[in-house]
A = this chain, B = another copy of it.
Amino acid sequence: MFVREMSHYECFSVVCASRIGRLACCRNDEPYAVPIYYSIAGNCLYSFSMLGKKIEWMRVNPKVCVLVEDVVSSREWRSVVINGIFQELSAEGHWRREYIHAWSLLEKHANWWEPGGLKPASPEISTVYQHLFYSIVISAMTGRDACDQDR
């Protein structure tokens, strides 16, 4: 098996082709990782979440890492690591334009608000639960490509 570093363009292609990433954040030197749905546009990932642990932690420390993979088999896969900064998008004021942009990108997909939009025991999304849009501004992106033949 050969493993090689991917170019920025190749990494971008992998991230564009997927909708699921694994987001890692940390607080007080303790890491936390969860799956997220996202859309990518320009230099940002856009996502949606209920209020909860990851939002609380990212509000305190906005540095995040997002892992995106394209796995064909155990010997053919591509893996991209994104470093970025969490930015909460408010429906009002300075971030309103970005908020609407996030909504427009995410609503193109059925069930775009799952799994971020649900909490245990909530049968369906509801205004009872507080939810929010956020972006991750990409500061670095690196990736590896593994396959049986040297490309």
Contacts and interface: CB of A to CB of B under 8 A. Distances in A.
A31 B24 contact: yes
Contact of A74 (B1, B33, B79, B114): B114
Given A114-B146, A120-B5, A30 B26 contact: yes
Interface stretch (A57-65, A88-96, A99-107): A57-65
A49 to B, nearest CB: 13
A44 interface: no
17 contacts: A1-B114, A1-B124, A2-B123, A3-B120, A22-B67, A24-B24, A24-B32, A25-B31, A27-B29, A29-B61, A33-B33, A33-B67, A34-B67, A34-B81, A74-B111, A79-B115, A120-B144
